[in-house]
Amino acid sequence: MSSPSASPAAAGAPRHWWRELLLLALIYAAYDGSRLLVAGGLPRALRNGHALLSAEARLRLSPEHLLNTAFTRHAWLAVPADFAYASLHYLVTPLVLAWLWHRHRGRYRRARTWLGISTVLGLAGFTLLPTAPPRLLEASYGFTDSMRQHAAVGWWGAEASAPKGLGHLTNEFAAMPSLHVGWALWCGVLVWRCADRTAVRIAGLLYPVLIAVVVMGTANHYLLDAVAGCAVMGAGALLAGPALRLADRLRRGAGAGGRGAAAAAGTAPAPAAFVPAPAGPGDGAARPRGGAAPGAGADAPPASRPPVPAR
């Protein structure tokens, strides 16, 4: 996509790919396992969904109904959107991370930190504000679950975008904020910043727009979910710099502490041997006539002279 912008030895750049892969796996596991943190069940999630729709109605913003109706009526729109919703979230994000690792190592650490902080903020949103997506609202709200409608053509089941039989392992109330949109925005911004080819950069800008349309058309998210997803990515971008500076200070402090301990253990000077102090004038030592006292502003004591005989 472009030429490397920084060498792997760039300051602060991670060097162990397997650690980054493990970190990415933990992020995905936390995202999918957030269902374990949700309290209140479906009734609470439905109330929050109703509240979001009411807020959008007051703002005269409700594109979910228009998009979902179009997707429901036209399979040529719904089926590709269903595949996009079920897969791109798990493919494009790690692809962009891998591209940054290999081609833009100097940007990787900040980008990864930005993604991680934003995801943690999103998980906090899932926990504090569990929200039923439009597809789980009562039929009177007029939404159709396009993934359930076309479950026969994909690997997902009727419960969620997870593979058939595994829908119970996903958090179906993780609507607010939309990390599908948030992660797509992260990908788009980085591709726009780092890619050299104009076509690739434009594709990066269009990707989060496409995902926003997909998540609303498939009745998986509200418009305000998409806005909140962008907001948590903005917050993550602002917090990434301070988080990295704090991590660097802690690392330097730990390194200095380790070096100090090593010095105390292995390089402390041995105690000096006891040497008796030279006798001073008060101790009866003869002082050469006209000579300076030893050590009193001279580089070396003057040579001693024979005593002058008394007259």
pTM for this entry: 0.74
Q: Give the CB-side neighbour count of residue 225, counting CA atoms within 13 A.
A: 35
Q: Give residue 19's pLDDT.
A: 73
Tens of pLDDT along the chain (311 residues) come to 444 444 444 445 566 667 777 777 777 676 666 555 655 588 999 999 999 999 999 999 889 999 999 999 999 999 999 999 999 988 999 899 999 999 998 999 999 999 999 999 998 898 889 999 999 999 999 999 999 999 888 888 666 666 665 655 566 888 899 999 999 999 999 999 999 999 999 999 999 999 999 999 999 999 999 999 999 999 999 999 999 999 889 888 876 665 655 555 555 455 554 445 555 544 444 444 444 444 444 444 555 555 555 44
Q: Give residue 3's pLDDT.
A: 44
Interacting residues of 310 by C-beta distance below 8 A, sequence separation 6+ = none
Q: Give residue 172's pLDDT.
A: 80
Check if the beta carbon of residue 213 is closer than 8 Å to that of residue 78.
no
Q: Give residue 126's pLDDT.
A: 87
